[in-house]
Amino acid sequence: MPKISLVVCLYREKDLLERLLKHAEGCYDDLVVVHDGKEIGEPSWRPSPVIRELAIDWANVPAKSLLPDFFAKGQTPISPGSIRELVEKHKGRFFEHPRVGSLEGQSPFSWWAAKYDWILRLDADEFPSKIMVDWLKSFRKLSSKSVHEAGFSCIWPLWDGVKMTTYRWPRGRLFLFDRTRVSFFGLVEQVPIIEGPRTALPLILHHQPRRKSYGIRNVVFRPQAYIWRKVIAISLNHSPLNLPRWRFSSAEWPSPWKEKLHHPFRCVLTDLFWYTGWQALSMLRWERRLDLSACLTSALIHFLLQIEIIRQKYRSS
């Protein structure tokens, strides 16, 4: 039977993690929670290069290795009301990761820390629907030889801060995968690269942050979004080998990152217009209606990212 490690990378968000663990009960065999920086007393942080000890391929670190010294020495003892206490009450393992400002930067380490190859990759502000819970419980009862997929994706409905506003779109959110058949580098917005069959399932994964999960205001006025774009743009001026990785050894950026880096002005136009059109067609197909704000959200994210890439590129030249 395939055993599952639930892996959550977060920054504070204890109340959201509590909700996630409540809804995910019975869906996993192992729990790993990785906090970005110290849970208590973390100093202010600015985008900076990843420390050398983190910029390795964590898939090559033996599973039975001890926690690296620079991790082990920095772990804060358990305290009442802490996230660590919550995780340990759920029989999970909690790690304080050196601050990198993104869950992608924490992911390779978190997958190494997991006990099992099947990774249930959820964010603290997400939780599985009842039908997804039932599917995960059934999946854990299957014979390992009967599972041929390397990963599974689901539906990730939009949230306006109060209620869901879509039910069948967007699609393609990778939520479960076999870590032995994916590759990855810890760049913001990067998703695991599946190396095998991938099945899209009609299951809902709720994404319900404290704020609206989409919309132009969310992209333009959210401070964290500017930090993420800057981190991406700075990283692209170097090599993927400068980042934490998982089964990824190339010094070359894969497409479409290479396109964004080498053809920035062309990408400005395609990101804004082509991507908006593609999103609109997808929403019409699955949701049978059109919400321009929702369709513009992803396109605007890519557009503003491309502007920042251009700015950083010419600033460093």
Range of lowest pLDDT (4-13, 36-45, 192-201): 36-45
Range of lowest pLDDT (24-38, 71-85, 149-163, 244-258): 71-85
Contacts of 225 (CB under 8 A, 6+ apart): 218, 219, 301, 304
Cα pseudo-dihedral 131, 132, 138, 139, rounded to 10: 160
Per-residue pLDDT tens over the stretch 125-153: 999 999 999 999 999 999 988 899 999 99
Q: What is the mean pLDDT of residues 109-123?
A: 97
In a domain, 228, yes or no: yes
pLDDT band for 236, please (50, 70, 90 cuts): confident
In a domain, 208, yes or no: no
Per-residue pLDDT tens over the stretch 45-89: 777 777 888 899 999 998 777 777 777 777 888 889 999 999 999
Q: What is the mean pLDDT of residues 151-166?
A: 96
- Please check the confidence at residue 172 and state whether its pLDDT lies above 70: yes
Residue pair 174/153 in contact (Cβ under 8 Å)? The answer is: yes
In a domain, 41, yes or no: no
C-alpha–C-alpha distance, residues 92 and 256, integer Å? 36
In a domain, 51, yes or no: no
Range of lowest pLDDT (66-70, 206-210, 266-270): 66-70
Residue pair 286/171 in contact (Cβ under 8 Å)? The answer is: yes
Which pLDDT score is estimated for 316?
66
How many domains is the chain partitioned into structurally?
1
In a domain, 268, yes or no: yes
For residue 258, the Cα-to-chain-centroid distance in whole angstroms is: 21
Domain that holds residue 224: 216-316
Which pLDDT score is estimated for 265?
83
C-alpha–C-alpha distance, residues 256 and 168, integer Å? 26
In a domain, 98, yes or no: no
